[in-house]
Chain A
Amino acid sequence: MSQTVTDVHADTHEDRRSAGLSRRARQGLRRTGLGFAALAIVAYSAFPIYWMVISSLRDPNKLFQVPTLAPGPFSLESYEVLLTLTDYPTQFRNSILVASAVVVITIVCSTMIAYALTRLRIPFKTLIVMTMLYVYMLPPLLLAIPLYGIFVWLGISDSLLALAIAHCTLTLPLGVWLLWGYFKAMPFDLEEAAMVDGCSRLGAFLRVVLPLSLPGVVTVAVFSFLLSWTDYAYALVLVSSDAQKTLPVGLASMIGAFDMRWGEAMAGATLIALPLFVMFTFLSRYFIQGLSAGAVKG
């Protein structure tokens, strides 16, 4: 057996040699072409991000001269001004508060809903899942206009609470949809065994189902954070007072200001993007998984 394998190997090797230099040259050419293509793709994707970061780190006085592609002269002035003289820290706090609330609510409710939909006797299961998926596809602005009316009626308009609830309308359907797939694919035998051994249903859920579907839960957490952290449309419609603004709206209000301070704007943009990049570096598996499942509406 091993004899034939080496034979075949020797054969192909011979083949390649006999095809001569032109083939090797073509391979080399293909390699180089591939390398250049990959470089071009990376440059295209990363250049705006590179420009954002180096502009934020450049001496603000040098920003309004003809730009150089290389970074420098280095200065942290834009960051200092942004963090000490603007509302940015408050907005950062608001964004963190809303995003954390959204993540917690989404995880608790969507695991329970998805579990109930796959394991309990509940009428109209398919209809509920369909509705979830359907509303997940609705564009935020469509719901934002009537939501605003409802929050006015409830007396909680222009508050972080209203914004968190609004964000949950994006993240809950997503969470239910992703976890429904997870729980459905998980065999019932495991939890049944646990329940036969004396676990309650909740015990079986917490000790067997949740740990096994941890990747799904992490994906939901990551994307709930992402959706809430980056949301602009809801925050624009629902929040108007300065004290309640989140980062995206706060940053957007810089656009079109009379004297646009680009250094600070780029520093602010970099700081919003930073947590996302850090998360992506450590949790890229979950990001990719969620992306191909359509977890970012956009």
Chain B
Amino acid sequence: MRSQFDWLIYLFFALGLLVTGAFIVVPAVHALWLSLHQANSFIAAPRWVGFENYARILADPAFWHAMGNGLIYAGTSIVLQVVLGIAFALVLNEHFPGRRLARGFVVLPYLLPTVVVALTFQWMMDGSVGILTVLAREVGLGTIPWFEDPVAAMASTIAMSVWLWTPFVTVCVLAGLQSIPQSLYDAAKVDGAGAWNRFRHVTLPQLAPVLTVVVLLRGIWMFNKFDIIWLMTKGGPLGATEHLPILAYKRAFSLFDVGGGAAVASISFLLLSVLVLIYFRLFPLEDRR
């Protein structure tokens, strides 16, 4: 069955693995290697310092502050995304005219590049003529300092993130809802279960596997979100929205502490790996699809 062309398959296989290996595995290892060195820039010769970078980073209050911010940001936005996503999916799962169109609209935010979202929200939250600022003023909330006040900046960033990433939850939950057999609901109805009880005892348990995947994946990604926070606040004001990825970037690129930046990145890499391992453990590769 062999022919002269079969080597093409092997060639592209090898090529693809090479690209993946060279530009993913090598950088990951390189990051770990850099974290054990001291370097002032990417061109300067790195000097071996062992775990000094880690000791320095872990003793720095800024690190723990960033860690706390990351947990607040990721935790709050995941909870809100999941709650909103389930609510949206429940509505969109019902029959009403224009349902297809509504489902389409709900996905749109997720397709937008983060830059577009960041720019649009900055425009809407402009201090004098932003539409949200004006509307808030008109309903009597006064002028809201969206990004000037530490607490408000964190809340605004979370609200934007929720708007942007809820569609992922909606789409997944909607798919989950469609796979729940109608007979379960009929049986619950016969047993006299009201709408809330049907949701509580049929829908939620049936959605549990989907929700586990969703929460894990969102956890993995939200904890390491960089672009939206960088674009909106650059970690400010006064470090109120600075989390680990921002800290790593600032150390490596503006404080000329490449080793320290790599150490921060490596620490979040290790934390992330724990989540990924849990994911692999709960959903073994062989069972998929």
Contacts and interface: CB of A to CB of B under 8 A. Distances in A.
Say which size band chain B's interface belongs to.
Answer: 35 or more
Given A137-B276, A203-B3, A181 B27 contact: no
A51 B16 CA distance: 42
Where chain B touches its partner, the secondary structure class is: helix
A166 interface: yes
Where chain A touches its partner, the secondary structure class is: helix
Contact of A41 (B1, B24, B106): B106
Contacts of A268: 119
A247 to B, nearest CB: 8
A142 B268 contact: yes
Contacts of A46: 105, 108
20 contacts: A45-B108, A52-B116, A109-B12, A109-B19, A116-B13, A132-B20, A134-B280, A141-B245, A149-B34, A169-B20, A195-B1, A201-B3, A201-B9, A247-B113, A251-B119, A255-B231, A276-B112, A291-B171, A292-B172, A294-B217
A232 B28 contact: no
Given A142-B31, A269-B119, A272-B113, A200 B5 contact: yes
Q: Which of A133, A201, A281, A298 has the most chain B CB atoms closer than 10 A to its own CB?
A: A298
Interface in B6-61: 6, 8-10, 12-13, 15-17, 19-20, 23-28, 30-31, 34, 42-43
8 A-B pairs with least C-beta separation = A200-B3, A139-B224, A112-B12, A109-B16, A230-B113, A146-B27, A146-B30, A116-B13
A141 B248 contact: yes
A109 B15 contact: yes
Contact of B30 (A105, A135, A150, A266): A150
Given A31-B96, A41-B106, A255 B276 contact: no
B122 interface: yes
A287 interface: yes
Contacts of A266: 119-120, 123
Given A195-B1, A200-B2, A265-B119, 14 more contacts: A65-B129, A112-B8, A113-B13, A138-B272, A139-B226, A142-B31, A152-B43, A201-B5, A205-B9, A248-B115, A255-B119, A266-B119, A281-B104, A292-B171
Contacts of B34: 145-146, 149
A67 B109 CA distance: 23
Contact of A272 (B10, B24, B115): B115
A30 to B, nearest CB: 9
Interface of A: 31, 34-35, 37-38, 41-42, 44-46, 48-49, 51-52, 55, 63-67, 69, 105, 108-110, 112-113, 115-116, 120, 122, 126, 128-135, 137-143, 145-150, 152, 165-166, 168-169, 172-173, 176, 181, 184-185, 195, 200-203, 205, 226, 229-230, 232-233, 236-237, 247-249, 251-252, 254-255, 262, 265-266, 268-269, 272-273, 276-277, 280-281, 284, 287-288, 291-292, 294, 296-298
Contacts of A149: 30, 34, 42
B177 interface: no
B16 A150 contact: no
A129 to B, nearest CB: 6
Nearest to A140: B226
Contact of A277 (B28, B111, B124): B111
Contacts of A143: 23-24, 27-28, 31
A48 B24 contact: no
A31 B95 CA distance: 9
Interface of B: 1-6, 8-10, 12-13, 15-17, 19-20, 23-28, 30-31, 34, 42-43, 88, 91-92, 94, 96, 98-99, 102, 104-124, 126, 128-129, 131, 134, 163, 165, 167-168, 171-172, 175, 217, 220-221, 224-227, 230-231, 245, 248-249, 252-253, 258, 261-262, 265, 268-269, 272, 276, 279-280, 285, 288-289
A262 B249 CA distance: 28
Contacts of B167: 45, 291
Given A48-B124, A277-B111, A135 B20 contact: yes
Contacts of B98: 38
Given A145-B261, A165-B19, A254-B119, A34 B96 contact: yes
Nearest to A63: B129
Nearest to B279: A137
Contacts of A134: 276, 280
A195 to B, nearest CB: 5
A110 B19 CA distance: 11
A184 B3 contact: no
Given A66-B134, A149-B34, A232 B107 contact: no
A48 B132 CA distance: 10
A254 B122 CA distance: 12
Contacts of A169: 19-20, 23-24, 27
A167 to B, nearest CB: 10
Contact of A173 (B9, B12, B20): B20
A122 B3 CA distance: 19
A237 to B, nearest CB: 7
Nearest to B195: A30
B6 A201 contact: yes
A150 B34 CA distance: 12
Contact of B23 (A140, A166, A184, A248): A166
